[in-house]
Amino acid sequence: MQRIAAVVNDQVISIYDLGRRLDLVIRSSGMPDNADQRRRLAPQVMRGLIDETLQSQEAARLSISVGQADIDVAIGQIEANNKLPKGGFGAFVSRQELTIDTVLAQMRPALAWQKLIARRVVPNIDIGEEDIDAVLTRIKERSGGTELRLAEIVLPIDDQGQVQDVVDLARRLVTQIRGGAPFTPIASQFSRSASAATGGDIGWMAEGQLSPADASAVAALKPGEPAEPIVEPDAVRILYLIERRIGGGGTGADIRVTLRQLGLPIPAGATKAYTEALVSLASQIGSVAKDCPDFARLAAEQGSSQPVEPLEVRVGELADYLRAVIEGVPPGKAAPPVVVPGSVQLIMVCGRQTNEGPSRDDIREKLVRERVDMMSRRYLRDLRRAAFFDVRAFP
């Protein structure tokens, strides 16, 4: 008979269940697998199992079920997120020395809870135009500033007696990440935010969208670094900087452009008149090229072979003269020819990432996500407070 680790209402969590979940957490997050690590993680993993049990029970009470079609969609998303071939999920799980059943045991409650939240919580969220206007005002006040792509780990606090335990866990996770453990799987395993489904990634946002606490936490971070834990009344959060770029348009070093380039060689000893004739030819090509495909055709006719796709590059990665040449050139237009040692160069700008900032729909989506997370945590907190659970043993 399996030993009982906990009882949640009338449902049992066994020592075996807890051991399997520890295997999943440790192996999928890249943490060291040793007795001390398991001892430290066991309380938080047990908490996750209790939460999942409560979520499954509430979903069952509301007649919300998870079918094979739901599981197939979730597996397809995992394959896409991990750049796996279609049908590669089983091999991916096996490489981590896990079983499909162990992974599905975590997946099913999460999918049921997502469906429950979509049905019971999301319809009650109303984002007013004034909420969006307030965010846009903050963004405009910092126009031209940086934009950040962030990820997060959210560790809920259900009562004040557990604040220190949650803070200690957050600090251990930060230490693991700074020591080389990958952020994405750790977020997927430990975060209780909806963003856990995407490894914590919450996308791009302007600095003006951040709260003062968040802005301060990430101000000095380099890409690939986690911030110190942020303690809030109902959660401890860890922010992680994925990437930083210059916002507000223009030709900042982090703006991406796509280019096509034509080079007309200048023979050694060529006369000034010869060079001027090449410049005239390049100007003519630039003026008649309708778009980038047409430019590629004309360039090929001049013996300048072109790649299938235009070059995509950050402006800051270009040579100084190229940055100066393309400044202010709109997409679909060629810049004036420039003479460099050995050739006349003609550049067409195929596309430019303007980084004009988030749209109203982007802001609305972020505000909805924040409120969904908050209301979801409150829903689960209420379930915990109303439940009977008895934790009896750890492995």
Q: CA nearest 54: which of 22, 11, 95, 86?
A: 11
What is the spatial distance between Cα 212 and Cα 132, in angstroms, rounded to a whole number? 18
What is the spatial distance between Cα 375 and Cα 124, in angstroms, rounded to a whole number? 10
* Cβ-count burial 326-338 (b if 16+ within 10 Å, e if not): beebeeebbbebb
Domain segments of the chain as ranges: 4-248+357-391, 256-352
Q: Which fold has domain 256-352?
A: Chitinase A; domain 3 (3.10.50)
Which 3 state secondary structure label does DSSP give 164?
Answer: helix
- Cα 173 → chain centroid: 18
Which residues does 104 contact at the CB level (< 8 Å), separation at least 6? 71
Q: Quick one: tokens of 238? A: 């860890």
Q: What is the CA radius of gyration of the chain?
A: 27
Which residues does 142 contact at the CB level (< 8 Å), separation at least 6? 206, 207, 208
What is the spatial distance between Cα 290 and Cα 292, in angstroms, rounded to a whole number? 7
Tens of pLDDT along the chain (395 residues)? 579 999 999 999 999 999 999 999 888 887 888 888 888 888 888 989 999 999 999 999 999 999 999 998 888 888 877 778 888 888 888 888 888 888 899 899 999 999 999 999 999 899 999 999 988 887 777 655 678 889 999 998 877 777 888 899 999 999 989 998 889 889 988 888 878 877 888 888 877 788 889 999 998 899 999 999 999 988 899 999 998 876 544 445 557 788 888 888 888 888 888 989 988 998 998 888 888 888 888 888 887 777 777 878 777 777 777 778 888 788 888 889 888 888 888 888 888 776 566 778 888 888 888 898 889 988 998 999 999 988 886 66
Q: Which fold has domain 4-248+357-391?
A: Chitinase A; domain 3 (3.10.50)
* Cβ-count burial 230-255 (b if 16+ within 10 Å, e if not): beeeebbbbbbbbebbbbbeebbebb
Whether the CB-CB separation of 345 and 261 falls below 8 Å is answered with yes
Q: Quick one: tokens of 386? A: 């109303």
pTM of the model: 0.66
Q: Quick one: tokens of 154? A: 């959210």
Strand order, beta sheet including 389-391 = 11-14, 4-8, 389-391
What is the spatial distance between Cα 109 and Cα 55, in angstroms, rounded to a whole number? 6
Whether the CB-CB separation of 107 and 197 falls below 8 Å is answered with no
What is the spatial distance between Cα 351 and Cα 16, in angstroms, rounded to a whole number? 56
